[in-house]
Structure 1
């Protein structure tokens, strides 16, 4: 299926298989360096490394006061794992759970989820972010606020070992001039961070609900310079069973 979005974007219809895993209280998980997956998973991982295809898995804890359980991952070959969603507000980030950062402890949820990047298939772990309903950083009259927010987002993502940011900003927000300004500032901050650190550039993904593509696709060429991929929430596409069948 072709999408008139400027170039071939990575719109992943396989999001129907995306996972929302409820966190359960378990003993701390130690990721063994020698952990290996089967040969088929290794071959799939090689394709992911070449960026020819991708399989996104979503880890969204349903409770905010328990440690996440990562044992599910042994049977799944994901190129990218999205952990979230953190809420972005004018003053900082509201984390997905209360145990993401545990003072004086190695086993906070952030540390656990990013440790998956050390196993043999080396998935990228992205921090999912969405805008808080009370936020004002998309206001064009307050560019300094948007600048501060993007700096915090990039610093936080890099500081805690994530490979990138998965933005879940949707609906009419995507059509606002303030969002365009925000995207430019965020993209520039990511590039500047790479220059400062000399390390690999953070990936930036924008997710779009399928029913909003027809409204925002004309803006995509402008965003193309800043985003590494566009993710289509295909789960919102109507199935054939919802359409009348001609007799």
Structure 2
């Protein structure tokens, strides 16, 4: 692999409550998953992040979520298909409007938190998300967890997809993310993370939490903007990859 995308979840501050350092992250990443107000983000903050992304040439994605501000979108919801499709359309439409006003556009969709994890294997909710994307703009790319059925389901429906891996999260032997409720689920060692992502880019492999080696084919790497030391982690990933000749470049 000679190039790979580096993305982060941004635009998640809300009023006086600040989350992450969007300015710093936008100088490092090639794609930004920007909150749409359902799990985090207020109109002013989202607009500021979008404008900054446009100024820096960072590709914009809609970070759609369950309507769960209190739980930061990390609580599972048994939404009906019609509700979920409408929620996806609503969120993408809001971000598209803000992006258009800033002279930019939304290029992809990345579900957030519990929704992201649910649709990785839940075909019913996955199809509802796909339907929402197709109805508002079938040219949008869907970003999903590498190796999960949602990517094939989306491609069957005619959407382009990009498989994603996580720099700051531990993996199970089955290729899933270790639950945040478990010890060791979030990684913090920047040197270790950088070397893990270099191996991912070069070999398509990672070490699982039990020490076994798993195969992961991904074309985008995520660093969570709300993780402690997120900026340092993103910098370490970018510097490690570039030092080995791998360019950081968006997939669109």
TM-score range, shorter chain: 0.3 to 0.5
| TM-score normalised to structure 2 length | 0.42
